[in-house]
Every structure is written in C-alpha cells, then in structure tokens.
Chain A
Amino acid sequence: MGDFSLLWLQSAACGGDSMSLLGLENPNLIELLGNQGITLLWHPSLSPERPRQLQTIIDAILADDRHLDLLCIEGAIVNGPEGTGLADVLGGRPKRDLIGELCARAKFVLAMGTCASYGGIPAAPPNPMDVTGMQWRNKEPGGLLAPDWLSRGGLPVINVAGCPAHPLNMAQSIINLLIQGTAMVLDEWNRPQESYNTMVHQGCTRNEYHEYDMEETDFGGRGCLFFNLGCQGPKTSGSCNSSLWNNQKSKPRAGVPCFGCTSPSFPKNKDFFKTDKIGDVPVELPTGVERPNYMAYKGLAKAAAPQRLKDRTTGL
C-alpha cells in the first residue's frame, strides 16, 4: 500500500457515481483501491467507520496533520435555502463550507459526475436549492470555487462528467493523477482529455444508419435516433460507445437516445425525446459540421443507402 490518500464525499448526490464505480472492470474496485498505492481515507458507502471518524480525519487534514492527495466530490453543491447551504449539511455545517475548506488542502480535486462538475439535474430550472458545480455553474465558469482557482497540485477541479460518470473514466482519472500528477491534460470543460476525446456517436452500432440517413421516427427500431428522437450522440463528447457500459452496451445501442449527460448543459431545457428541426434537418448538427455541406451530403447519402439498411436487416 502506498500513501496516495483519497477522500470521497457526497453532497447533493443520488449515489449513482458510486454505484457506477462498483461496476468497474479491469481493475475492479477492490483492485483499484487495494493495489494501486491508494489509501482510502473515507467513502460514505464503503467505509466501515462511523461519520465521527470522518470528522477526525477532516480535522487532521484541516490542521495539516494529514496530507490529502485526492478529494473526490460526488453531487452538486447546495447553496439553498436562501443562501444558507442548510439543505445539505454534515455535522450541522453546510457541506459547501466543509468542501471548500478541504479543497484548499487537497493536492487534486476530482468532480465525479455531472452534478459535481456543472450542477446537473438539481441545477435544472427552477434550481430549487440554488446548486452549482464545483467550479462551474452549467456553462459558466465559477461555482463553489472561482474560475481561476487551482489546487495545491496546480490543476483546476477535474470534471469527470457523466450522469453517472463512466466507471472507467473515474478510475482512469484517479490512476492518472496517481501516476502522472499535474501532467493530466484537460479539455475546454476541464474534463480529462483522454477520456472525453471521442464522440458518443463514434462506435455507435447505429452509426451506419446515420451515415446513410436512415432515421427512425419511433422507438424500437434499428435506425439512427439523431434526426427525430432527440439523440445527442454526434454532439456529445463521451466514451459510452468506445468503453461500453457494464461490459455490454450503451444507451444508443439499446435504442435509447443519448441525452448529452457529459455536457455542462445537461439536462437540456427542451424535450429529451424530440429533435428540433428546420425543415427536415436538425437545428443542431453534429459537432463541427457545416449546414450546406451536411444537407447536400444527406440527400446523396439517402439515395445511396444500401438495401440492407433500408430493410433494417442489419443486426445490432
């Protein structure tokens, strides 16, 4: 056992990121926490100790008697009601304040999941408890921490986005910090670039249907869900189709649209299961595409579509 210390706290969370982490493969959770030189100081679901011991650990960290290498936060940061932070407390204190103090001591801070990264679902209108992410408020820089805040290790809060975060993205981020430290490269939304440099669309089994403009208008079919059913796979950075979920699939592979849950704008404020269109073409096109080119290409592609796609005989 090494001594890369890890403390995991949940704020306004559903526990989904922790549950996602239990599904980790290669390494599994026990291997990750047991064999990688990591000392787990605390996790709310996994620690046998009582919260009283957590307080002892926190006190030691705040007194600089115990170093904290990695602080993992799961869940949104609560400012309500009425600015008190009292809708999410630990030991009688707003968790917001406690997390802020711990951030000042931590070498690195990981926001696990979209809630901790950007606010996520609790931040959706009307945002009843005035929640934010750790260092972002949806697409705006600045949350609990200021936009220019850096941890002792010299990095901003690293956003392992996703609702929930993919277990491999969480594990890889932890291992990367353990091995590389500050060498970790982040994208424009402070996500680890390595884990978010693919589109959800890439690797989707419905991709060929999209290529030839074979679009479904209802659920239960094999075709693409982008034009009509709200799928955001071509616009979303995420590993769902390159690192499959639970060893098996992704939402689009199972016929469920991608809801763009790794984006700071999740949840979108429009219908989830519907694509807004101008004429026959979606208002929002795949990331990086020019509208005139795309429209010309789509017309040609549809005409060129293989019969097996038109007939939906291709298995998934």
Chain B
Amino acid sequence: MADNKKNLTVELNRVEGDLELKLVVEGNRIVDARAVGRMYRGFEQILIGRHARDGLVITPRVCGICSTAHLYAAVTAIETAWQCPIGPNGTRVRNLCLMAEEVQSDARHSFLMFAIDFCNRRYRHHPLYPRIEEAFQVFKGRIYAETIRHTKQLLEIVALFGGQWPHSSYMIPGGVTTVRSRKELIRVQTILDSYLRWYEDSIIGCSSERWLALRTRDDFHAWLDEKQAHRDSAAGLFLRFGREAGLAGLGRGNDRLLSYGAWFEPEEWQPPFRKRPCRRRAGFVNGINGRVEEFVEEKIKEHIEYSWFARQSGSGPPAGNRTIPEFAPNSKRYSWAKAPRYDGQVVEMGALAELVVAGDPLMSSFFREQGATVWLRELARLHRPLLTLNHMREIVRTMLGPDFEQPFYLSPKTVYSGSGRGLIQAARGGLGHWVSFADNRITGYQIISPTTWNASPRDNLDRPGHWETTLINTEIADLENPVEIEHIIRSHDACLVCCVHFLDTGRKLSFGLGPTR
C-alpha cells in the first residue's frame, strides 16, 4: 500500500445494531470502503420446518423497529401462496398500523438519531449552534423530548389494533384479528389530530396545507424566507443548518432508486395478486434524469460472491435461494449479507426513493437538480409524515363512514403447499419475504430488508454496495472526528439487525478511530 494511504476503522452506534466501516483514505479522501456489520442470528434457518403461520410470530422479532413491516410482509407472503381473499377493512387496519410505524420512525430518525450529530464539536462555532443544542441535544433538547412524547402516542394506534408495539401478530391470512369497533377508530382520529397539531406547531411552523403546497425547490426556499416561524421551526432549523453544514453535497450514490410501492388498495389487493395496486406506486428510477420504470419483481437477484454463505445457498432470484451460513475466515468474503441487485444494478432504498418513484413533486424537483444526497434524504423524512398523516385521516374517515361494515377478516381456505412473496414498503425502504411451503410446513424462507440493499457488500462483478459507493470519494475534514461518515450512513437510517450480518475478517490494520486489535 502506498505511503499516503491509511486504513481507517469507524464504528457507528445510533444505528439499529452495530456497524463498522473499513475505509482506506488517501490524504483526507476515502478511496475504498467496506461496510462491516457484526451479528448473525439465523432467522431464516429457524423458520424451516415450522407451521406456515409461525412466520407471523417469528419474523416481527427480526427487528424491534420495523416489527409491523415484517408482520405485513410475512402475512402477504402467506396470502399470495394461499391465494386467499382479504377483508378490505383488514387491509385498511394493516395500512394504518404500517403508516403509524412509519410516521413515528421518521420523527425518531430525524430527531433521536440524526440531529444529534449537529451537536458535534465540529459545529460549535456555527452561529446556529446554541439553537441546535437547545432543540436537539440528547435528553435535554426541546424537540428531542417532544419527539419521545409524541411518537410514543402514535404507536398507540398499532396497540389499539394489535395489542402492543413492538412485536405483535394481529395480521393473519385473510385480514386482522381486530373486533370491529368505532371506539378504536375514534381514538385513532384523536391521536392523529394531536400528532398533526404538534407537527404543525413545533416541526414545520405552519399548517400542513401550507407545507404541502410546496412543489418545487423554489417554493421551498420561498417558504423559508416567508416567515420567521418557518425558519425557526425544527424543520427550518434542521434544514438550514444541514445545508450550511454541506449535507446537500454529501453522500450521493448512483441515483438509482427503487420502491416496491406503499399501501395496497383494500378493494383491489386480492387474488390472484398479479398487479400491485399501491397508493404510492412502485417503480425504479434509473439515474437523475431517468424516468420512472415499471417495477418488475423478477429483476431482484441476490449475489453471494463476498458473503459468508455456502455456494449451494444460491445466487439469483431470492425465491430459489436458501440461507446456509458458511464461516470462512481469511477469504475475500467479508459479509453475512447477500448482495441484492435490481436489474443488475446497485440501488438505493428509503423515503426519498419511495417519494421520487411515487412522483412527489417537491422531492422530484430537488432530485432532478441535485440527485440523492444526505440533505435530500433528510428532507424526505421530514416531508413524508405530512403525506402519510393525510392518508391515515382519510382511511379513518372512510372506515367510520361507508366502509364500516366491510369485513376485517375472511377466514381462509388453507392450501397446504405452494410459494408466495410479501413485498411491502417499510419506513426505511422495500422489505421482501419469500416463502415456500410443503404440507403446511415452511420449506424455504428468504428475507431481504431495506438495509441489505443499502449496506450490501460487493457483488459477483465486484461492484461496491450502495453505502460503499456513497462513501468512496468523500472528503473527511478531520479524520479524528469523521462526522461526514456518520451523516452519510445515518441518512439511510441504517438498521443492521434486520439482516445485514457482516463479519469482520480482522485482517486489516485499524487506524485512528475504533479500538485497535
């Protein structure tokens, strides 16, 4: 290795699970990057041989943050295998719960995980720093404390239908276990009203109608200039500071964005499940000027060239693959994760991808001008809740009105063999479960979570995964305080526990950050 190159190990907390990044820097520029996670549990192996429905209990426990999303993917996988009709109100309840999980996740991401890094000593001389601390400091910040209080209440929506959050199993093939009641729906409405009021008062400093009128980049800047209340709101402060901290020029990947589409339409999402009738459409954006292409499930393939899996685990479409770990130290492999690719390409998942694919005007306007960056991913997390809360209010209105009598559950006629897939949109991006059954027992289970896409290792053509791509060529101002790296990775709301199970080979020399070994 040339003299001016150094190996750098950066460990990250405040991501779900543990993450270690193995970097090579030349001067202050990252010239190579490997994402190294450090934990493997083997959920897919545990599911083999269990009853078809047991995935509804096991898979929510993959992730304490996205347990509702895993449950939804698991139940969808069974339903597409069994070809059973779904009570339309069952889908409405599922959507409401998934949306509640998403909206709380957006706020917790922004204000409990990401904004903390604005309090880094790097920024202490910035004129806005005292106000950043006042709002976002851990435990003491005003917005930090408010976020804990309000997101907690939002999760009551999941508990009203599912009994608890996290980790419940109320979505069952054919619908949900919930007993029809207006009482729960009215409670949901009051929770939504209360959350929206907080969001308007504290987070955006204006009415949701005013915010949702923003359709272009220019609209957004006009909004910032319009009132002190806008500039001083949590979002105003966060976005102004983020721009001045250079986040709009940081963490750009290859601008390939993928979304499975969010929220099945209750009446149309029924057997034979050939189309995906989604409120937020599915699709693929092939680069900054690319149009939105139709999403084709069959274009998802997994590679295991750099992963700790036995060759017979298989490459190719996930439905045919298996998870057979094979620990092989001192090889080129460095990851417990497979490397998923869409149409052979490295893609980015998340809120920004979801909204650009869905054609959201504000997000699309910014994306066309500057591509996917840290700043824009954060704007997406602040913007998305307003869209989602609107849909939630609409669902509650129709359920309290004309749809009240529609079924919440249709008892399925079980089919004992077959295969299915559940592809849904979790807070962090597309989540897929692929399952096969024989005699009502699980014979194969494959999960690809959003973070697997973002944090994937190299593939069989040696192409770095998405995070690795975004890190390479990044300039780090201070190698002893590499806050740029933390901004980049956290802008994807990294969730390592889901299925990113890398393992360190221990062969590279650590330098600077992180403990030496």
Q: A267: which B residues are within 8 A, CB to CB? A: 57-58
Q: State in angstroms the CA–CA spacing of A47 and B113 once bound together.
A: 9
A248 within 8 A of B: yes
The answer to whether residues A22 and B152 also contact, given A245-B163, A254-B177 and a CB cut-off of 8 A, is yes
B14 within 8 A of A: yes
Q: Could you list some 24 contacts between A and B, CB below 8 A? A: A16-B167, A30-B148, A78-B39, A80-B40, A81-B40, A82-B327, A89-B504, A92-B517, A120-B61, A128-B46, A131-B41, A219-B411, A220-B179, A220-B408, A240-B163, A240-B164, A246-B164, A254-B161, A255-B163, A259-B57, A271-B54, A273-B53, A273-B54, A273-B172
Determine if B51 and A246 form an interchain contact, defined as CB atoms under 8 angstroms apart. no
Interface residues of B in 156-180 (CB under 8 A from A): 156, 158-170, 172, 175-179
Determine if A87 and B148 form an interchain contact, defined as CB atoms under 8 angstroms apart. no
Q: What residue in chain B is nearest A246 (Cβ atoms)?
A: B159
Determine if A164 and B167 form an interchain contact, defined as CB atoms under 8 angstroms apart. yes
Determine if A23 and B165 form an interchain contact, defined as CB atoms under 8 angstroms apart. yes
Q: Which of B62-70, B226-234, B314-322, B379-387 contacts A (4 or more CB under 8 A)?
A: B62-70
Interface residues of A in 220-245 (CB under 8 A from B): 220-222, 240, 244-245
Interface residues of A in 190-237 (CB under 8 A from B): 218-222
Q: B155: which A residues are within 8 A, CB to CB? A: 23, 246
Q: How large is the interface on A (under 10, 10 to 19, 20 to 34, 35 or more residues)?
A: 35 or more
Determine if A89 and B38 form an interchain contact, defined as CB atoms under 8 angstroms apart. yes
Determine if A87 and B336 form an interchain contact, defined as CB atoms under 8 angstroms apart. yes
B497 within 8 A of A: yes
Determine if A273 and B51 form an interchain contact, defined as CB atoms under 8 angstroms apart. yes
Determine if B58 and A121 form an interchain contact, defined as CB atoms under 8 angstroms apart. yes
A2 within 8 A of B: no
* Contacting residue for B178 out of A28, A80, A81, A255, CB 8 A: A255
Q: State in angstroms the CA–CA spacing of A164 and B17 once bound together.
A: 16
Determine if A253 and B163 form an interchain contact, defined as CB atoms under 8 angstroms apart. yes
Q: State in angstroms the CA–CA spacing of A303 and B162 once bound together.
A: 32
Tell me the dominant secondary structure on chain A's binding face: loop
Determine if A316 and B179 form an interchain contact, defined as CB atoms under 8 angstroms apart. yes
Interface residues of A in 251-281 (CB under 8 A from B): 251-257, 259, 261, 267, 271-274
Measured CB to CB, the closest approach of chain B to A203, in angstroms, equals 13
A295 within 8 A of B: no
Q: What residue in chain B is nearest A29 (Cβ atoms)?
A: B148
User: Closest 5 interchain pairs by CB?
Assistant: A16-B64, A128-B42, A255-B177, A254-B163, A245-B164
Q: State in angstroms the CA–CA spacing of A87 and B496 once bound together.
A: 13
Q: How large is the interface on B (under 10, 10 to 19, 20 to 34, 35 or more residues)?
A: 35 or more
A69 within 8 A of B: no
B18 within 8 A of A: yes
Measured CB to CB, the closest approach of chain B to A14, in angstroms, equals 4
Q: A25: which B residues are within 8 A, CB to CB? A: 152
* Contacting residue for B503 out of A28, A86, A122, A256, CB 8 A: A86
Q: State in angstroms the CA–CA spacing of A49 and B481 once bound together.
A: 11
B11 within 8 A of A: yes
Q: State in angstroms the CA–CA spacing of A114 and B45 once bound together.
A: 20
Interface residues of A in 63-106 (CB under 8 A from B): 76, 78, 80-82, 84, 86-93
Determine if B54 and A272 form an interchain contact, defined as CB atoms under 8 angstroms apart. yes
Q: A248: which B residues are within 8 A, CB to CB? A: 156, 159-160
Determine if A271 and B53 form an interchain contact, defined as CB atoms under 8 angstroms apart. yes
Q: State in angstroms the CA–CA spacing of A67 and B61 once bound together.
A: 34
Determine if B13 and A13 form an interchain contact, defined as CB atoms under 8 angstroms apart. no
Determine if A255 and B179 form an interchain contact, defined as CB atoms under 8 angstroms apart. yes
B401 within 8 A of A: no
Determine if B13 and A45 form an interchain contact, defined as CB atoms under 8 angstroms apart. yes
B325 within 8 A of A: yes
Q: State in angstroms the CA–CA spacing of A248 and B336 once bound together.
A: 38
Q: State in angstroms the CA–CA spacing of A219 and B56 once bound together.
A: 14
Determine if B158 and A246 form an interchain contact, defined as CB atoms under 8 angstroms apart. yes
Measured CB to CB, the closest approach of chain B to A33, in angstroms, equals 7
Q: State in angstroms the CA–CA spacing of A14 and B172 once bound together.
A: 22
Q: State in angstroms the CA–CA spacing of A44 and B16 once bound together.
A: 8
* Contacting residue for B325 out of A50, A81, A251, CB 8 A: A81
Q: State in angstroms the CA–CA spacing of A82 and B326 once bound together.
A: 10
Q: Which of A51-59, A137-145, A181-189 contacts B (4 or more CB under 8 A)?
A: A51-59
Q: State in angstroms the CA–CA spacing of A246 and B181 once bound together.
A: 19
* Contacting residue for A220 out of B54, B409, B514, CB 8 A: B409
Q: State in angstroms the CA–CA spacing of A81 and B327 once bound together.
A: 7
Measured CB to CB, the closest approach of chain A to B395, in angstroms, equals 18
B186 within 8 A of A: no
Q: State in angstroms the CA–CA spacing of A49 and B46 once bound together.
A: 35
Q: A47: which B residues are within 8 A, CB to CB? A: 13-14, 138
Measured CB to CB, the closest approach of chain A to B247, in angstroms, equals 18
Q: What residue in chain A is nearest B116 (Cβ atoms)?
A: A48
